[in-house]
Structure 1
Amino acid sequence: MSESPNLLRNFDNFIINQLKESYKTKSDITNLKGVSLFHEPFTHCVINDLVSDSNFVNDLNAEIVAKLKYHEKNNDLYKFHQTKDLGKNKSKHLSQFRDQFLYGQFLDFLKQMTDIDLSSTKIDVTSSKYEHTDYLLCHDDNINKDLHGRRIAFIYYLVPDDWNSDGSDGGNLDLFSVNDKLEPIDIVKSLIPKRNSLAFFEVSDRSFHQVAEVLAKNKTRLSINGWFHGPVNPKAVRKAEIPQELSSYQDVEPDQFFDWITEKYLKPINQTGIQMKFSSSSEIKLDKIFHNLKYEQTSKELESENIKWIRKGPYNRRNYEIADPESLPDIVKELSKVLTSDFMGLTLSNMTGLALHASVPKNKPDDDDNDEDDYSDEEDEENECENGEDDEFESDFESEVNANDVEPSENKRKLEQEEENDGSKPCSSSSLNKKLKSTESEQEVENTDTQTNSENVKNIEEPKEYGNPKFHCEVRRWKQGEYTLITDDDDDIKKEALDLMLFFGCKNWSINCGGNISYIARDEDSELLTVNPEENCMALVYRDTETLRFTKFVNSELNKINSNGCFYEIYIVYYE
């Protein structure tokens, strides 16, 4: 066994000078004694047969597998296993590879080739293990905040000898091109892992890359990887995204609205019961929200080949498809219109207590505590859903999202009592406004009659603040490789909102496929809430500015349970 694996033993000064000149002039070199150096989309290099002693490679591989402890890493950006930093690991072959090679021969080689003053005391080293459906999504490695930090990233591959060279095993190192805003827009090159090869690239504002999903079932993408540190260039200031355009509610005929929503969700007493549940957890799942025939027709029409799907990026924020609204089938347009109508705003206000309709006053922060005392046990029993179906509105979500509790106002309770005898359909928004004004006028008269009593002066209501509700709507298609990521500067997270999620074509969906929506608290890793795609089920989630959301990476398992290889979502965000 070689005591000192040597990269440079077969390289003379002519080859070193060729590589150095290529690095300086940005000219490409292909397979110069196993070394290839390219400069698009950013400077990167691949060295094949890095260590000449195959016994050392095999012993290093076996030692890593037997002795290192890997920890699961799983969030919006990645899913794989990784060790802690190996800078002080004393295993025989690993320490030799680190101390004699990374800190010795290879460091000297990089300094000569790049003419960068790399640190001889600071190299980050870990080992990563990617198995079936694991991945690492688009990022640039550039977390540098000082003038000294990550300068060159490296990956030494210890994949099996039979790792397919055609890329069919997955796990490729994909490289992205960027636009003039330094946003990653396209995968322009894929480096396929090969045993005993090493890839490295210079970390910069342009070095966007990802580890593609591992498709092989019985092979492990094993590597030793990390960063050489050195002087870095100041980070470029990226322009903020243009905020998404918000719209006002659309007009629909009452019958059109009633044709979609099932009867039980239109009864005021049931809406009050839903609001009671929503106010305690800020989320709820409404099963069988639509008439089955309408839902099934919509599901079928979403598969139409006439729909124009447009990829929405950039890759470091999101990767999924949205439908061109003009290309949608009529029934999908109709549903989108119903969900963004004045009637829907009113219904959601009744179900959530939020001011999602112009006639509903905004809730004040201190209203919650006061409202709690307004309910007696008898009133709680009266607000149970009809026929004892209280459990019908129980949320199956696993956790909670923190938000203000909201209770129905006294005016709304009076209105619900009036409407209870009107049948299953709520009144129109115009008649509702009249009723609200009527009940408010009655209350004003009552307050006037009691103003002589000093104790009741405190009960005079302050002027109410009414909202100006807006929404943003997208019809989405989710396929293998698609996702959304958490980014702190998204305009979407800067204000409180109600998320509505409605899924189609997900009958056989399972958690192993990805595509579920996770809600987490800012600066926290643990999930607060998970929303899973379900047929004919509307999920409502209220989130404040400290609550973030992302859609988990959709992996290749979806293709096995869904013949179309996709499912659909109508996502609407409502603002008060």
Structure 2
Amino acid sequence: MDRIKQEEAVVTNPKPVKREVDDASIDLPGRSQSCNGLHSSSSAKRIKSENTVIQASDQLAINPAYCTSDFQNAVCSLLKLFATANANLDATGAEHAALLKNMVFRRPFSHMIFPNFFTANQAIEQVENELLSQKFQAIHKDLFQLSQTKELRSVPEFAMLCRTLENEVHDWVSAITGVPLSDEVDVRGAMYRYTDRLMCHDDKLTTRKVAYVYYLTDAEDWDVADGGTLDLFDSLCVDLVMVPGEIVKRIPPKRNSLVLFLVRDDSFHQVSEIVNPRKSRLSITGWFHSPQSAAAIVEYQTMPASGSMEFTEADQNNARICKLARQDDRQSEIWKAKCRETFLKQQRLNIPEILDLAFYRTLVSELREKDHLIPWMTPSNRNQAGHYRYFDLRQRFVKDFKCLDLLVDTILTDQFLQSVSDITAINMGSIISGPPDQSKKPEENAKENKPFATAVPGSSSDPSGEDSSDTTWFLRTVQFRLERFAHQDYTLKNYDAVQQGAVLDLFLFFDCDRLDKDCGGTIVYVDMDNDDDCLPLTKFSPVSNTLQMVRREDSVVFYTDYVNHRWARRADGRPFYRLWMSVSALPSPPGSSTSGSEHDVDSDEDESAEDDDDDENFDLDEDNQDAIPPTVSGSSEDELEE
């Protein structure tokens, strides 16, 4: 299913995802001769006031070469042949051979490219100028970032242009495709500028039948490396659902060309990110509709399977590398009380410098050097989940990763989990005594909760009065991943962030020192049950060596904003990492230490006391403070952005 409201598509799921336009609108500046030759906005406004577009649109006509009955019949017969399994295209006639080479294509799905579509160059230029004079709205969601006009059929200056699309072009499209069309035609202007993009989708929505893009970009010097291409994906069937594969064709935006394709389950496409700050892509886009709605296809997304991980008692190594794994003293109690006060007000908290600096630096060096040894996975369906790499830490693959292994062990200690529970006032209700029953729901396991202080091997203070020295304790997690994000990576609203019941999300970020807000990678929380999700519930950008805690209800999901070209330039193509842990979030029982503050907050925020015990088992590489290679320094090219 597809994912955008007007520009390109929307996914329909058990919880529908709506794509709206942001309230903020912008006046789109025109381009000078040095920016692909578009006229200035001031001249465009003069043209608008003189009403020349209404007159010029009257002169727009389809290229006569495309209007002959022989041409239309040849295109229509080819499209029918494409729909035939094992069709022999080599046996087609000479008139078909030319079309197959230049205009009509079968792979990866049926699509057509018609250059020099309209005649009368002066009229085309006037349409372009009038389009530039319109007010564009900047829209930025999980699936796209671009600027778009309102529906042009309601704009008087485009009355004749829209009439041409609704009559001559409409009938011509129906003739060459052999598809009956209704009178409904969508007409909008779209502008893509530096870092704008539209991610992979299929356009399947309501009665859409034939998608079209008419380019007004002056693209004589446009290179595929500039971005802005219409990328077409091949497809494969996974669990009876069509999913996108790899990009097999890139179509650059060529002025006065018309691209058409039939909207189908496998019509996966995207508009690649504009990576040249000097280029912009202008087009008129929309759909021709079918008289009848296609059969509704609902893609159900299964809830992520929860897993159980054994947790242990914190030792000196754990306490040395992480402030939350240290035993409480007066200072740490005051600090936790202040943190709890903030979290209870905002349901979110960030803790900077969570890891010892020397350990953090060694960990980042380890990830950089051994990234290729991690068996990364990618989502099976980028149309539903996005594109990024991850590894499930519940598999406990940490061989030859000394720092990562110690970090995972530290997170799964009683003291770390107790500190999180103290700060969030959330009872980690998914702690169960082993072996865990994977068939049980988190709320069912709440009956088996033990306080962290007693839920550790060797504890003799079990509330039940029984000796728990032989008991193994497990933490049921919804997700526990190491995730990798590089340029062009992103996640969508309805990826693996769905869950049953409230959860507590923990994020720990690595190697993202130059990841500013304009680079993408921001984590955005939205409410799927809210009819108006224009404004996020909360959002935050990754900060190195910082722990983010967010309580999330079952109707709330998050997405990771597209990591754009700015990050590729600033980090020299290097990825950044985040560790994501999601556990069930049940309220603390009344009277427990996590149900409210037991300490007076009467001093400034302090970190927990330093542990002076010697580290007998782990080398923090304190003599190698410069083990992390320096980030790429800024350059004049780095500042060249629209």
| Distance in 2 of aligned mates of 1:228 and 1:296 | 56
Query: Is residue 322–residue 410 contact of structure 2 (8 Å, CA) maintained in 1?
Result: no
| Distance in 2 of aligned mates of 1:500 and 1:432 | 28
Query: Is residue 247–residue 472 contact of structure 1 (8 Å, CA) maintained in 2?
Result: no
In structure 1, what is the equivalent of residue 347 of structure 2? Answer: 282
Query: Is residue 211–residue 261 contact of structure 2 (8 Å, CA) maintained in 1?
Result: yes
In structure 2, what is the equivalent of residue 559 of structure 1? Answer: 568
TM-score normalized by structure 2?
Answer: 0.69
Query: Is residue 151–residue 232 contact of structure 1 (8 Å, CA) maintained in 2?
Result: no
Query: Is residue 310–residue 475 contact of structure 2 (8 Å, CA) maintained in 1?
Result: no
C-alpha displacement of 1:167:
0.6
In structure 1, what is the equivalent of residue 75 of structure 2? Answer: 19
Q: Are 2:151 and 1:95 equivalent residues in the alignment?
A: no
Q: Are 2:289 and 1:255 equivalent residues in the alignment?
A: no
Tell me which amino acid in the other structure corresponds to 2:204. N
Tell me which amino acid in the other structure corresponds to 2:131. I
In structure 2, what is the equivalent of residue 203 of structure 1? Answer: 263
Once the two structures are superposed, the pairs formed by residues 403-442 of structure 1 within 5 Å of their partners are 429-430=455-456, 437=463
Once the two structures are superposed, the pairs formed by residues 208-247 of structure 1 within 5 Å of their partners are 208-230=268-290, 231-238=292-299, 240-241=301-302, 243-247=304-308
When the two chains are superposed, the root-mean-square deviation of aligned CA atoms in Å is 3.1
| Distance in 2 of aligned mates of 1:277 and 1:532 | 19
C-alpha displacement of 1:9:
0.8
C-alpha displacement of 1:114:
1.5
In structure 1, what is the equivalent of residue 505 of structure 2? Answer: 499
In structure 2, what is the equivalent of residue 80 of structure 1? Answer: 146
Query: Is residue 356–residue 467 contact of structure 1 (8 Å, CA) maintained in 2?
Result: no
Corresponding residue SS for 1:106: helix
C-alpha displacement of 1:265:
6.4
| Distance in 2 of aligned mates of 1:480 and 1:562 | 10
Per-residue Cα deviation, 1:289-311 (whole angstroms, up to 9, x for no partner): 11111111111111124423332
Tell me which amino acid in the other structure corresponds to 1:353. A
Q: Are 2:219 and 1:188 equivalent residues in the alignment?
A: no
Per-residue Cα deviation, 1:353-399 (whole angstroms, up to 9, x for no partner): 21216679xxxxxxxxxxxxxxxxxxxxxxxxxxxxxxxxxxxxxxx
Query: Is residue 502–residue 554 contact of structure 2 (8 Å, CA) maintained in 1?
Result: yes
| Distance in 1 of aligned mates of 2:565 and 2:340 | 38
| Distance in 2 of aligned mates of 1:516 and 1:538 | 14
In structure 1, what is the equivalent of residue 7 of structure 2? Answer: none
C-alpha displacement of 1:133:
0.3
| Distance in 1 of aligned mates of 2:127 and 2:497 | 48
Once the two structures are superposed, the pairs formed by residues 13-412 of structure 1 within 5 Å of their partners are 13-26=69-82, 32=99, 36-66=103-133, 68-91=134-157, 94-100=158-164, 102-119=165-182, 121-144=183-206, 149-164=207-222, 166-180=223-237, 181-230=241-290, 231-238=292-299, 240-241=301-302, 243-251=304-312, 254-262=315-323, 266-267=327-328, 269=333, 270-305=335-370, 306-308=372-374, 309-316=376-383, 317-323=385-391, 325=397, 329-356=401-428
Query: Is residue 311–residue 475 contact of structure 2 (8 Å, CA) maintained in 1?
Result: no
Query: Is residue 142–residue 559 contact of structure 2 (8 Å, CA) maintained in 1?
Result: yes
Query: Is residue 325–residue 416 contact of structure 2 (8 Å, CA) maintained in 1?
Result: no
Larger displacement relative to structure 2 (539-548 or 175-184): 175-184
**CA pair 62-432 structure 1, distance change in 2 beyond 3 A:** farther
Query: How many percent identity over aligned positions?
Result: 24
Q: How many residues align?
A: 477
Larger displacement relative to structure 2 (239-248 or 41-50): 239-248
| Distance in 2 of aligned mates of 1:193 and 1:547 | 38
| Correspondent of 1:572 among 581, 593, 607 | 581
| Distance in 2 of aligned mates of 1:87 and 1:266 | 67
| Distance in 2 of aligned mates of 1:356 and 1:207 | 44
Tell me which amino acid in the other structure corresponds to 2:365. K
| Distance in 1 of aligned mates of 2:267 and 2:571 | 35
**CA pair 484-155 structure 1, distance change in 2 beyond 3 A:** same
| Distance in 1 of aligned mates of 2:386 and 2:399 | 22
**CA pair 2-155 structure 1, distance change in 2 beyond 3 A:** closer
| Distance in 2 of aligned mates of 1:33 and 1:204 | 21
Query: Is residue 454–residue 461 contact of structure 2 (8 Å, CA) maintained in 1?
Result: no
Corresponding residue SS for 1:194: coil
Query: Is residue 265–residue 271 contact of structure 1 (8 Å, CA) maintained in 2?
Result: no
Query: Is residue 161–residue 194 contact of structure 1 (8 Å, CA) maintained in 2?
Result: yes
Q: Are 2:535 and 1:526 equivalent residues in the alignment?
A: yes
**CA pair 247-36 structure 1, distance change in 2 beyond 3 A:** farther
| Distance in 1 of aligned mates of 2:457 and 2:412 | 19
In structure 2, what is the equivalent of residue 462 of structure 1? Answer: none
Tell me which amino acid in the other structure corresponds to 1:19. V
**CA pair 30-295 structure 1, distance change in 2 beyond 3 A:** farther
Tell me which amino acid in the other structure corresponds to 1:97. L
| Distance in 2 of aligned mates of 1:245 and 1:334 | 23
C-alpha displacement of 1:7:
2.0
| Distance in 2 of aligned mates of 1:2 and 1:271 | 68
Query: Is residue 430–residue 583 contact of structure 2 (8 Å, CA) maintained in 1?
Result: no
**CA pair 279-37 structure 1, distance change in 2 beyond 3 A:** same
**CA pair 130-277 structure 1, distance change in 2 beyond 3 A:** same
Corresponding residue SS for 2:580: strand
Per-residue Cα deviation, 1:305-355 (whole angstroms, up to 9, x for no partner): 442333234212221012473566221122123223444322221221212
In structure 2, what is the equivalent of residue 543 of structure 1? Answer: 552
C-alpha displacement of 1:434:
5.7
Tell me which amino acid in the other structure corresponds to 1:302. L
| Distance in 1 of aligned mates of 2:141 and 2:299 | 24
| Distance in 1 of aligned mates of 2:64 and 2:523 | 52
C-alpha displacement of 1:107:
1.4
Corresponding residue SS for 2:247: strand
Per-residue Cα deviation, 1:430-477 (whole angstroms, up to 9, x for no partner): 4997668499xxxxxxxxxxxxxxxxxxxxxxxxxx997434211111
Corresponding residue SS for 1:159: coil
Query: Is residue 313–residue 319 contact of structure 1 (8 Å, CA) maintained in 2?
Result: no
Tell me which amino acid in the other structure corresponds to 2:521. G
**CA pair 264-355 structure 1, distance change in 2 beyond 3 A:** closer
C-alpha displacement of 1:248:
2.5
| Distance in 1 of aligned mates of 2:246 and 2:77 | 29
Query: Is residue 83–residue 128 contact of structure 1 (8 Å, CA) maintained in 2?
Result: yes
Query: Is residue 211–residue 286 contact of structure 2 (8 Å, CA) maintained in 1?
Result: yes
Tell me which amino acid in the other structure corresponds to 1:162. E
| Distance in 2 of aligned mates of 1:333 and 1:353 | 28
**CA pair 219-428 structure 1, distance change in 2 beyond 3 A:** same
**CA pair 116-328 structure 1, distance change in 2 beyond 3 A:** farther
C-alpha displacement of 1:84:
0.8
